[in-house]
Structure 1
Amino acid sequence: VTGSAGGGGPQLEAYETSSGAAKGASGGPNWADNVSRGYREEMEHFAFSIRNHGPNYWPNGKPKPTAEGGLRCNGVVAMADAIMALTANLAMEHQKRIVFKPEWFDPDSDAAPETDPEIIG
């Protein structure tokens, strides 16, 4: 699912990481043969891509399509997932509400929740 608002880029990017339910509903004897392992499988594919594609992963500055071996979860999406999980943990640790800052989600910024003085004091 990808949605956009106005002239900006995607506001939401989502995808399915499992095929287990659909395969299980088919009732066939081999329904578990094609179950996606979700995050673990994506990390394995990420490591494979680094090892086998290296700096050529982004030919002409554009990511490879998923159908051609490109990542299902690109780096920006993966970084956002990690930031959300990390920030939730920090909110629980410091017992306070944390407002997300746009610079945390900018790959070119060094800003991060775990070094933000408003969070860690």
Structure 2
Amino acid sequence: MFLTTDIAFSFINFGAFTGFTVVNICVIAFYVRKRTTAPLTVLGYVILPAVGACVTLYMLTRLSTTALIIGSCWLAAGFLWLLWLTRGFRRPTPAMSVDETGGEIDDIRTRPVRAVELDQDLSEKG
């Protein structure tokens, strides 16, 4: 199968539109969970994200069928990979780590580096 630049751009847009839609939905979910413990505005945490999600969903429907199929397959492959890495979500999700000696990225299945550790490393080197 040959990908034209239009289909390639649509494929990239599929990822962007899907990501922005999920982010907007997560903002609404955050509001639902935290509305009693923190003063959050309905406009900023429900209405605007809902409008944003609707707009990006609409733009998803305007993409070519080929881009939607390729994007959906890529999304499914990523989800299946995550299922395999976590053994069906029985293990923690993978986290990227930074090697303390040279700043190189370790295996993705190693422990995460916390921001406090990075600050300590920077203050020791500075």
Q: Hey, which of these two has a bigger chunk of strand by percent? A: 1
Question: For this structure pair, what is the TM-score category when the shorter chain's length is used for normalisation?
Answer: under 0.3
Q: Hey, which of these two has a bigger chunk of helix by percent? A: 2
Larger relative contact order, structure 1 or 2 (CA cutoff 8 Å, min sep 6): 2
Query: What TM-score comes out, normalization by structure 1 length?
Result: 0.28
Query: What TM-score comes out, normalization by structure 2 length?
Result: 0.27
